Amino acid sequence: MIIFGVDPGTINTGFGIIKYNKNEFHHITSGIIKPNPKFDLPTKLEHIYNELYELLKKNKPDCFAIETAFYGKNIQSALKIGYVRGVSLLAAIHNNVETNEYSPREIKKSVTGNGGASKEQVMFMVKKLLYLKKEIKLDESDALGIAICHALKTKSLSNKSSSWKDYINANPDKVIS
C-alpha cells in the first residue's frame, strides 16, 4: 500500500510518501512545499494545491492521510491551516485517492506510543521506522508520521489482535533498549 501523508501549513506544507507492506515501511519520497512568502493567501493555496496535485498524479498512492484541524491560541492560524487542509483534500479527491484524517495526538501515539510526544520524538521514530539516514525537516517528518499512522491504523483495523506488543515481537530490530 502506498500512502501519501500531508502536514498542512501556509508557510511549510510537509508531504511524505511511504510504502507499507507486511509490517515493513519503505520511504518513497518526502519534502516541503514552501510557497513564496510574498504571495497573497489565495496564491499560496493555489501553489500548494498544484504541487500536491502533481505529486499525487506522479506517485499514484492508494490513500491520502492528513492531520485534522485543531484550535490553538490563534484563530487566524487555525483558519489558514483549514484552508490548506481544504486544498490538500481537494488535490487528493481530484486524483481519486481515498482520504483519511488523524488528530495530532493519535498520530503521535501511533508513531511513538505517547500521544504527548514532542515533534523531535516523532522525528526520531519516523527516521528509525523508515531507516532514514538523511536529515529531514520537522514538517516533512510530521507528514511521514501521518502516513505511518495511517498504515498502522489500517493494519489494526484489518487485524484486531494487533497490539504494540505484537508489533515489538514482530520487529525486534526497531526496539531501542
CA 138 – CA 111 distance, rounded (Å): 14
Catalytic residues: 7, 67, 139
pTM summary value: 0.85
- Domain assignment present for 177: no
Phi/psi at 50 (nearest 5 deg)? Answer: -60, -45
- Residue 18: give its domain's CATH number: 3.30.420.10
- Domain assignment present for 19: yes
- The domain in which residue 86 lies consists of 2-172
- Domain assignment present for 120: yes
- Domain assignment present for 160: yes
Tens digits of residue pLDDT in 153-163? 887 555 554 56
- Domain assignment present for 12: yes
If one counts the domains in the chain, the total is: 1
Mean pLDDT for all residues in the chain: 90
